[in-house]
């Protein structure tokens, strides 16, 4: 592995790519101040959809990992992780996989599980007639969707 370019900000990173800098992966550290890291990911993905982006951040809050992945990043690594984890992340992303550190994976999985249980709790608070209306709406939407295809 070799570093072929280092950009001081998102605009410079995109400029390197537009000038034909041949890269296999973009490691994006979120210290850029002009353009947000999420916008840079979107810009790179719109210009070079096959170019994987690995998001590297000091922030261990799962919302940042979630937003990075939604923007098009193929992985999220915290800067506190070991060099071995970073190398593993690069290899996984280059192999076409999505990479999250074990800690971040656990946080996101926990968040998804909590959201699901919140929905189940809300459903359990419906009266029988409200539940029936919800089911009829779901059936109507499914029928409407299938008939539009």
Q: How far apart are CA 121 and CA 63, in angstroms?
A: 23
Q: What is the pLDDT of residue 148?
A: 62
In this prediction, residue 56 has a pLDDT band, given cuts at 50, 70 and 90, of very high
Percentage of the residues of the chain whose pLDDT score is greater than 70: 89
How many Cα neighbours within 13 Å face the side chain of 45? Answer: 18
Q: pLDDT by residue (tens digit) across 123-142?
A: 778 888 887 888 888 888 77
Contact assessment for residue 54 and residue 28, using Cβ atoms and an 8 Å cutoff: yes
Residues 6 or more apart whose CB falls under 8 angstroms from that of 42 comprise 71, 72
C-alpha distance from residue 17 to each of 90, 97, 99 (Å): 19, 22, 23
| Rounded Cα distance, 111 and 125, in Å | 21
- DSSP3 helix / strand / coil % (the chain, rounded to 5): 60, 10, 30
pLDDT digits (tens, 9 = 90+) for 60-101: 888 889 999 999 999 999 989 999 999 999 999 999 999 998
CATH, range 1-100: 3.40.50.2300
Which one has a higher pLDDT value, 114 or 94?
Answer: 94
As a whole number, the mean pLDDT across the chain is 85
* The pLDDT of residue 149: 59
Kindly list the domain boundaries of the chain, sorted by start residue. 1-100, 102-149
Cβ(25)–Cβ(89) below 8 Å? no
Q: What b-and-e string marks burial along 22-39, b requiring 16 or more CB atoms within 10 Å of the CB?
A: eeebbbbebebeeeebbe
* In the predicted structure, residue 44 carries a pLDDT above the cut 90: yes
Other C-beta atoms within 10 Å of 83: how many?
A: 7
- Name the residue with tokens 């096959």: 50
With bands split at pLDDT 50, 70 and 90, how would you rate the model's confidence at 33? Answer: low
């Amino acid at each position: 592995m070799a570093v072929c370019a280092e950009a001081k900000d998102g605009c410079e990173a995109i400029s390197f790519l537009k000038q034909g800098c041949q890269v296999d992966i973009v490691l994006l550290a979120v210290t850029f101040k002009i353009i947000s890291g999420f916008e840079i990911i979107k810009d790179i993905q719109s210009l070079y959809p096959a170019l994987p982006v690995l998001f590297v951040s000091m922030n261990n809050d799962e919302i940042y990992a979630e937003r990075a992945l939604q923007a098009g990043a193929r992985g999220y690594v915290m800067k506190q992780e070991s060099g071995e984890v970073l190398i593993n992340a690069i290899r996984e992303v280059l192999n076409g996989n999505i990479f999250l550190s074990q800690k971040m994976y656990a946080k996101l999985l926990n968040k998804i599980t909590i959201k699901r249980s919140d929905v189940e709790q809300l459903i359990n608070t419906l009266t029988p007639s409200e539940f029936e209306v919800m089911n009829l709406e779901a059936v109507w939407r499914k029928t409407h969707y299938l008939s539009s295809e």
